[in-house]
Every structure is written in structure tokens, then in C-alpha cells.
Structure 1
Amino acid sequence: MSVPPIRTLLVDDEVLARLALRQALAAHPDIQIVGECGNAHEALQAIAALEPALVFLDIRMPGMDGFKLLHKLKPETLPMVVFATAYGQHALRAFDADAVDYVLKPIDQARFDQAVARVRRLWAGLHVAVAPAGTAAPAPPPAHAQRISVRVGESMRIVATEDIDWIRADGNYVHIHVAGARYLHRETLSHLLETLDPQRFLRIHRGTLVNVDRIREIHPLFQGNAEVVLRDGTRLALSRRFRAQARQALGMS
């Protein structure tokens, strides 16, 4: 079963912003733009008429904002949503609204591509779920995240994944450690595992990922466990469950 193109609606009150979205989407031929709207009232009508699978949605627009627009949609008609806005302070509220992703304007193509990759994985998963017995939808093309947006106060900071030292799970959040700084990020560790490069990030514990380039030493402990020492001196537990993976990834004998 083939995965159909993703019918997409662009909603932004600025013509130049919609043009920027079109230009960013030009690199993704599986995204089919079916319409544009300059305000939320037009978008309500367009969603009902065009039934898009995906909406790129601005937040601050004259009259009804992007969040109010989503509240007016019935759950069964709600498309996938990627917020595209100049205001980083709405990020947590956007994810509470079940947005697939949140990108800041002006658009950074690499960060935008990461958002599209998330949409594509979700879209492919939806079609796997409805595929007839004995058939399978083709896997989406692999795309490893190059950057992660983390909230810092009222703004969003872009962190290159190669700069991350290690990550620890905390329920539906993760703590991302970068050069001595720690960022709380609203994403589960299991979801991050789907987006990060497995050649770079190694799972050493049920709730811990580490950048293999940061590992300096491995100290064996009792009962098959071990301790990982990073270049900055951080010490992390390597559980016996993940030791075989660590041996292979680090070339341990």
C-alpha cells in the first residue's frame, strides 16, 4: 500500500509568510499544498471543504487566533498541525494542543525539514494502521534530527544534536545536557529515540541516552553493570541490559 501525498493547507495573515512556507515545502514533493488562507475564518471554511491532512498554522492573526481556530474544529475533522509563528512563548501551549511540531519564523530550512519528517512519520504510521491484512505501507525515508528546539524562558533555543552531551528521561519530558547547561524539553525519550541518529546516540540505561563522542572511559562494576565517564567528568550508569549494545557501539572487546 502506497502512502498518499499529504494534502496541506497554509494559514497565515501575511502573504510573505505563506510564500516562505511554500518555498520551504518545495523540498518535499510528498506535501501537496491544496490551499492558502489569510485568517482563521477562511481556514474554517477551507478545512471543511478541502479536508486537508496537514495545516501549517500561524498563531497571532487578526480576529480569531490559531488556538481558537483549533477549538472550533470537531475532533474527527482535526488535521495534523504544525504551528509556524514568530513568537516562541507559545510553544508549550502549542504542544498541549497536540501540535505535531512548532517552528519559528523566519524559517530555518533544517529545522523545518525536521518538522516535516515528524509529520511524515505520523502520516505513514496512520496508513500502516489502516492497511489491509497482509499488506504494509512502505517505511518513510530515514531522517535524523539535526536540531532540537528547547524552551528557555519566553524564547526558544535551537540546539544542534551533535552538541548534546547526554539526555535523561523524566516522564513525558527529558533533560537535555549541553556543555554544562540543562534544558527541560517536552518530549518523551522513546520519541527522541526515533529521531536521533543511532550512530551518534547510545542508550546506556532505560532512561539515559549519551552522545558516544562524549564518552571518555567505561568502568566495570559488579553484576555486569558499569559506569560511563564523559569527557567533562559526568558519571552515568551503564546497565547490564544495554552493555552489549555499548560494546558494539564503542568497539569494546
Structure 2
Amino acid sequence: MLSALVIDDELFAREELTELLEETGKITVVDQASNAIEGLKKINQLKPDVVFLDIHMPQVTGIELLAMLDPDIQTRVVFVTAYDQFAVQAFEENAFDYLLKPVDPKRLGITIQRLIKSDNQSIQQYAPLTPPCLDQVPCVGLNRIMIIATDEIEFAYSDISGVHVQTADQVATCQLTLKVLEEKTPLVRCHRQYLINIKAIKEIKLLENGLAEIATSSEHPIPVSRRYLKTLKELLGFY
């Protein structure tokens, strides 16, 4: 039995697909999500075997969500979309499975058989479809969800409560890992637990033992470890 998460901003579409999946007796729908931000959180928490992902959603699309996934999370994705000639062509060229809305039960059956047969095979890489860089990251604050532009972020850091991003005037908990932020945004590593926006550096104070400390544009102190100091200086043009 495969576990599945259904992500779609249309309530009727989510419930209809969930019902069709449960009726097969081969898929257990562990949860649903009404948007990409909620879906990302549930993928990280539940780690389902397969995600049935709507492409066209507001704020963050299904394709953008894929770019936000930690590559260490092993899950398959079945795209669900209204007919879109270019999207379907891209799916077929890269051997991705997809379902057209409204979902046909017979076509769904073929998809499920493919999922079962590929259960022990390597996970498909979605890089051919996803943008190389993220323009925005989903975050949560006090009783609110925020979409923060990456160029507004001064730095990001991780602690026991999760990953956080700091702008000039606010801090928010991010739904992405530091690894994804490093690979998909302009933020660069300066410490095991910190990423910095080069444009937000006001000064670097050189300390003893090869260590350093960054002062950001809004006067936040950021540690720099010996391991990353040389690379950071080179990025700034100091050799």
C-alpha cells in the first residue's frame, strides 16, 4: 500500500481525486493540502510515497514547489493539470507521469500500476522542469503565512526550532532547508548554520584564530567560520 498526499487549491478536485485513490485499494491518502506552502510542510512532515500535485495554484505553483523540495526527500510526483499542451509535452519528454483534469479512473489505474512497478527504482529527478533559482520563499510568522522575495533576505540560519530568514525588518520561519536555500537562492554559506546575502554585508570584522563576524546592513552580527572565510572574501573581490 502506497501513501499519498493530494495537493490542489480546488476543494472539489482534491476530494474527488482522494475518493478515486481510496477506491483503488492500493493507495492510502494520508492528507490533503490546499496550496503549495501547506503542501511543502506536509511533504516534509509526512514523507509520502507519492504526491499528486496540481500545477496551477496561486502564489506558489506546483512546479515552484518542486524546486523547494529537499533533494534528500524521496517521493514520487504525479502531476495533475487541466490540459496544457506545453506542460504535457514537457512531462512526456522527461518521462514524468501526469493526469489530466477531470481525472479518468482508467487512466488513474495505469498511473497506480506504474507507481507500484517503480516502487524500488530510483526517484525521478525533476530538475528539467523546475526553475534553477527561487525568486521567493514561503515563510510563517505569528498566525500568518508570508511569501518573502529572496533579494529581501539578509541572512538565513538554523536552530533547534527550524530554519529562519531575516530581512531588514522581520524574522520568519522558513519552510525550506538551508541546503535548498543555498542551492536555489543567492544566499551563500558563511557558517555551518548560517547563509548570508552578499549584498547585505556592511562589513566583515576579522577576529582571532581565523574567524570573522559579518555586520549586515541592518546591524545584525553573523558568525563566519574559518572554513568559509576564504571563499567569502573571494566573492567580495579580496584575495
- Normalised to the residue count of structure 1, the TM-score between the two structures is 0.57
Q: When the two structures are superposed, what TM-score results if normalisation uses the length of structure 2?
A: 0.60
For the aligned residues, what is the CA RMSD? 4.3
**1:97 has 2:97 as partner:** no
The equivalent of 2:58 in structure 1 is 107
Q: Does 1:140 pair with 2:127?
A: yes
Q: Which runs of 5+ in 2 are unaligned?
A: 77-117
Q: Which residue of 1 aligns with 2:227?
A: 241
**2:154 alignment partner in structure 1:** 165
Q: Give the whole-Å Cα distance in 2 for the aligned partners of 1:182 and 1:231.
A: 15
1:117 alignment counterpart:
67
CA contact (8 A) 1:11 1:38 kept: no
C-alpha separation in 2, matches of 1:240 and 1:101: 44
Contact residue 173 and residue 189 of structure 1 kept, 8 A:
no
- 1:70 and 2:30 equivalent? yes
| Structure 1: tracts of 5 or more residues without a match | 1-7, 19-35, 52-67, 72-81, 132-136
1:25 maps to what in 2? Answer: none
For residues 204-237 of structure 1, the C-alpha deviation after alignment (integer angstroms, 9 at most, x for no partner) is: 1111101111012122111211221111122212
Amino acid at match of 1:69: V
Aligned-pair distance for 1:122?
Answer: 6.7
Q: Does 1:211 align with 2:197?
A: yes
Percent identity between matched residues is 19
Alignment correspondent of 1:44: 22
Residue 172 of structure 1 contacts residue 186 of structure 1 at CA under 8 Å; is this kept in 2?
no
Q: Is the 2:139–2:148 Cα contact (8 Å) retained in structure 1? A: yes
Question: Matched residue of 1:219: which SS?
Answer: strand
Q: Distance in 1 between matches of 2:125 and 2:232?
A: 30
* Shift in alpha-carbon separation, 1:116–1:87, aligned structure 2, 3 A: closer
| Residue-pair matches, total | 187
Q: Are 1:83 and 1:94, in contact at CA under 8 Å, matched by a contact in 2?
A: no
